[in-house]
């Protein structure tokens, strides 16, 4: 869940808010859990949906321009790729780019990076 929160929110204070929002959403929706999927999958989907809703609300209030995957690829090509960067710097850059994606593109990218079967999620 922390990876989802970090991928969706770059500001540390807002990360705490989003993490709390996810916990509240899980608590409220737990009675609706029917066991048709694993508990891990259900938690992941609730977390993804809550994070996406959080970002959509945030962008409506901030009215920032969102990028498509193609725009992010172009931006990534323009970044200065110095050799020998530590893994932490590479991870921070990845999260920075993920933050700039539109909500649906961000969800798909996170599912892919988590190694989950995308056919389980009907987007």
What's the structural domain count of the chain? 1
What domain range includes position 96?
2-120
CB atoms within 10 A of CB 37: 13
- Are residues 9 and 15 in contact, defined by beta-carbon separation less than 8 angstroms? yes
Q: How far apart are CA 118 and CA 122, in angstroms?
A: 8
pLDDT in tens, the chain (123 residues): 888 888 888 888 888 999 999 999 999 988 888 888 888 888 888 999 898 888 888 777 765 556 666 666 666 555 544 444 566 777 888 888 888 888 888 888 888 888 777 666 665
Instruction: Compute the distance between CA of residue 52 and CA of residue 47 in angstroms, rounded to an integer.
Output: 8
Q: What's the pTM value of the predicted model, to 2 decimals? A: 0.53
Tokens 């959080």 found at: 54
- In terms of Cβ atoms closer than 10 Å to its own Cβ (0-12, 13-18, 19+), residue 54 is buried
């Amino acid at each position: 869940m922390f990876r989802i929160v970090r991928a969706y929110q770059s500001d540390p204070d807002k990360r705490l808010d989003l993490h709390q929002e996810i916990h509240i959403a899980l608590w409220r929706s737990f009675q609706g859990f029917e066991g048709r999927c694993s508990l891990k999958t259900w938690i992941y989907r609730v977390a993804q949906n809550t994070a996406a809703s959080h970002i959509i609300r945030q962008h409506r209030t901030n009215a920032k321009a969102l990028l498509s995957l193609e725009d992010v690829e172009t931006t990534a090509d323009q970044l200065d790729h110095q050799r020998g960067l530590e893994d932490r710097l590479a991870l921070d850059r990845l999260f920075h780019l993920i933050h700039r994606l539109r909500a649906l593109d961000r969800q798909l990218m996170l599912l892919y990076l988590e190694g989950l079967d995308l056919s389980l999620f009907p987007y």
